Amino acid sequence: MPDSDTILLDVEDGVATVTVNRPDALNSLNVEALEALDEALDEAADADVRALVLTGAGDDAFVAGADISHMKDLSTPEAQAYAELGHGIARSLETFPAPTIAAINGYAFGGGCELALACDLRIAVEDAVLGQTEIDLGIVPGWGGTQRLPRLVNDEVARRLIFFGERIDATDAHEYGLVGEVVAHDQLDDRVDELTSDLAAQPAFAMQAAKEAVNAAHEQPLDAGLTYEQRVFSGLFGTHDQREGMEAFVEKRDPDFE
């Protein structure tokens, strides 16, 4: 478990839930929380879970951003180190060996929005508010927002959100493609449980391969990505889950994946 109580890690039924536990600070991420979050993600990966959920404690915030009181006096080298810490965590979410879900239960600003962007799926409550608000602080997104947001939404939408620091509600976020689903606040936990249960029932090795292949679409030209997909596809043949999945289909029964 993480050394700090600012991050909670719960592993149950093949699902890891990582909770940023600073509700009095709207779950903003100070250095202690970032380091504990990094540790929690490593522990969850080592536990071979089938899905991971990232959320915030309380009813008000997912992650309201980074710790501005810490950031305001940073030198350029210190800011570089701080950016590297946030980038490392976002990359850990993006490359986590199982699907990740951002359960956005409230404010998701700045670094909080960026961590959500690094997850595979995003589900938000109706009263959630999201935004890349760094421009209001005289800076730009520093944990991947300028790169991941334009890959997820329309280019001009991304530019408007970043240039103006716009805060948008969950409905608009869904319309723009920033979140995949919007639910009532009291339905979030149940809906996340449904999603993680379905993900956990899928063949783990194929799921990891699927995630890696989709990630590759954002990182290399089309021809290289198609070649990578062929290699991933063919490499799954001969595995237990491939044989079981196809035999179950032919035999008209539910598969028993590892």
Per-residue pLDDT of the chain (258 residues; tens, 9 = 90+): 666 799 999 999 999 999 999 999 999 999 999 999 999 999 999 999 999 999 999 999 999 988 888 889 989 999 999 999 999 999 999 999 999 999 999 999 999 999 999 999 999 999 999 999 999 999 999 999 999 999 999 999 999 999 999 999 999 999 999 999 999 999 999 999 999 999 999 999 999 999 999 999 888 889 998 998 999 999 999 899 999 999 999 999 999 888
Task: Check 43, 94, 134, 212 and give the catalytic one.
Answer: 134
Tell whether 2 is covered by a domain: no
Q: Active site includes 134?
A: yes
Same domain, 79 and 30: yes
Same domain, 232 and 119: no
Q: Which of 181, 200, 219 is the C-terminal boundary of a domain?
A: 200
Tell whether 256 is covered by a domain: no
Residue 214 sits in a domain whose CATH number is 1.10.12.10
Same domain, 188 and 231: no
- φ, ψ of residue 160 to 5 degrees: the values are -65, -45
Same domain, 13 and 78: yes
Residue 62 sits in a domain whose CATH number is 3.90.226.10
Tell whether 255 is covered by a domain: no
Same domain, 244 and 157: no
> For residue 216, what are the domain limits?
204-250
Same domain, 12 and 69: yes
pLDDT at 1: 65
Tell whether 12 is covered by a domain: yes
Dihedral angle computed from the Cα positions of residues 20, 16, 95 and 198, in that order, rounded to the nearest 10 degrees: -130
pLDDT at 3: 63
C-alpha–C-alpha distance, residues 118 and 139, integer Å: 20
C-alpha–C-alpha distance, residues 45 and 39, integer Å: 10
Tell whether 113 is covered by a domain: yes
pLDDT at 70: 84
Tell whether 220 is covered by a domain: yes
Same domain, 177 and 241: no
pLDDT at 9: 97
Total domain count for the chain? Answer: 2
Radius of gyration of the chain (CA): 19
Same domain, 30 and 130: yes
Same domain, 24 and 103: yes
Task: Check 94, 114, 126, 247 and give the catalytic one.
Answer: 114
Tell whether 1 is covered by a domain: no
Q: Active site includes 219?
A: no
Same domain, 81 and 153: yes
Same domain, 189 and 223: no
Tell whether 19 is covered by a domain: yes
Same domain, 119 and 148: yes
